[in-house]
Structure 1
């Protein structure tokens, strides 16, 4: 590279970083402005005798006065959001510069402070866009992680106070794949599921979680004249291990688990380096049978079955999943 090319690249980098900083600064000033407006509205409401009635009239009055001058951003609905924003985040110094108003607006849909803290930490750590944050809240990421680990560990991981030590701490069950566009009632094959995942690889990586990087699709394994093909291979830098994902568009069978076990054995004996952790296998299936998994695999195994669903779960569905998991854990303790 000659001198002219080098200096152009350097200056382009400086300009792009400055622009990004300027955008973030403007976004943060907007956040502070909305917080201050919310604070002022809340303080004014506290002076009203009949607060509920006065508050409604105040919001309508402000909207009528502000919208002609400042636009639709000061509608009654938005003014209510500003007030709620202040009440949920009453200390201005705790507002994160990495989060835009759109981020905070989605956080307002969550009432649990621990969940809010989790989503803020994960957004900052992973540089989630507002749309990605909305998707993670909508897919109830926090609740789904509770199915595999405890609340304190989830919050510790988010704050970088500790790192995952076991594969089960990074595996979600169920996995939500609504972004694929596949209809639950429609007929499709495993190759269709795989192709859709590759097309939507960025969204799938978001669903997989922290530390994953894509390695290969249909990885060929040649064993004494026979060829086998691993559906998807990833690497997780937090656990420092390969993660093999096999896709099954049907209910799990012991044969599926045996096939995945062979792939995991191959990677452990051929691909894994001495300093790396044992390979993890995930059987991503339409429906699983925990009893089949239990009696097919050794008690201490790095293979996991995870159900996938092609739609966002409702709060009731997730609550039922969590309750079922709690009952399973109690049954295991009583065995």
Structure 2
């Protein structure tokens, strides 16, 4: 048997063995599988280190052979992450069973060793989900703590080697609590507002009587190992298309538009049937004093189809009125609770 075939058989053996044990421990089994793939790729790469760009060629060729059998989880990008994962975490027994592959993949993209260790420890100590870990990194928790504490103290607390000695060590300043939506004298107000608007919109669109049928709320979209959640998904029988609604409790950003466009593209490329019309995306972006609505109609609409979209979809004015009515209701409720 040729060396290349032996190598490919080793890779396939790792994947198949991992699949056999997935029933008992899916998440950590995936972590171990990707670690073993990374180790095997790295070992094979080192044997060809005298050849220029051998590592890049190796991964591209391997992905080409694996993807048809095992799917997008073994793409060039994923296999490159596997190699990087092994290089940063070379001791298999040191892997933490509390962390899944999505969390490890986020961690290995942090170049600073101390920063990476801090988030790894905090994710374990606080049972962070993958989304929460990413949120804490994006909010620069580590950097904010270092503003008032030295690096060794911060790491010592994360490692549970010492107990915080002052409030400044455990209270983040500034505090990033958008995931709770805490506001002065109105605990959890923003989160309640978001939930209320989503619920209200769901009922509002269904009650329009213009062909809307409910598909999903917080629709999970898995792209390779990245998870995304679309707030609301409907199907309009009259338009013969999906309608994705996203709500952002803050001002509109280009990232919000990009995320909505990704959801629209996903439904067009994965869910939409050949005889159905292009997906429509609606982005509602609320702030304290205004409500912005962005409706993403497909660019290749025909004139008649565009007219039908306008006929059967709610107008921007209708959507703004619905959101503002919920906002006023929540403000009145919050005001009443504060008085009590």
TM bracket, shorter-chain basis: 0.3 to 0.5
With structure 1 as the length reference, what TM-score do the two structures score? 0.47
With structure 2 as the length reference, what TM-score do the two structures score? 0.47
Q: Which of structures 1 and 2 has the larger relative contact order (alpha carbons within 8 angstroms, sep 6+)?
A: 1
